[in-house]
Amino acid sequence: MITRRVLLVEDETTVAFLMKESLLDLGAEYQIEVASSGEEALAKMETVEWDVVVTDQRMPGITGLELIETLKDKAPATRAVLMTAFSTDEVRQAAQRLNVHNYLTKPFPLAALRRVVQDAVALKYADAKEPPSPEPAPTLPLKITLGGNGNVGKTTLIRRLCTGKFEAARLMTIGVDFHLYEIANEVATRRLVVWDVSGQDQFEFTRRAFYRGSKAVGLVYAVDDRASFELLPKWYEEIRAILPTVPVVLAANKGDMPRCVSEDEGRARAREWEAPLFVTSCLTGEGVHDFFHAIAHAAANNCVR
**Blockwise average pLDDT, block size 10, the chain, 305 residues:** 89 89 90 93 86 94 91 87 88 89 86 90 70 45 85 84 58 51 62 71 62 89 96 94 94 96 96 96 92 90 72
Contact, 51 vs 121, CB < 8 A?
yes
> Collapsing DSSP states into helix, strand and coil, what is residue 2?
coil
Instruction: Please tell me the predicted confidence (pLDDT) of residue 205.
Output: 58
Contact, 276 vs 250, CB < 8 A?
yes
Instruction: Please tell me the predicted confidence (pLDDT) of residue 188.
Output: 58
Beta strands 189-197; 176-184: pairing state: antiparallel
The number of CA neighbours under 13 Å toward the Cβ of 135 is: 9
DSSP state of 78: S
Instruction: Please tell me the predicted confidence (pLDDT) of residue 88.
Output: 86
Domains and CATH numbers, the chain: 4-127 (3.40.50.2300), 140-303 (3.40.50.300)
Model pTM score: 0.56
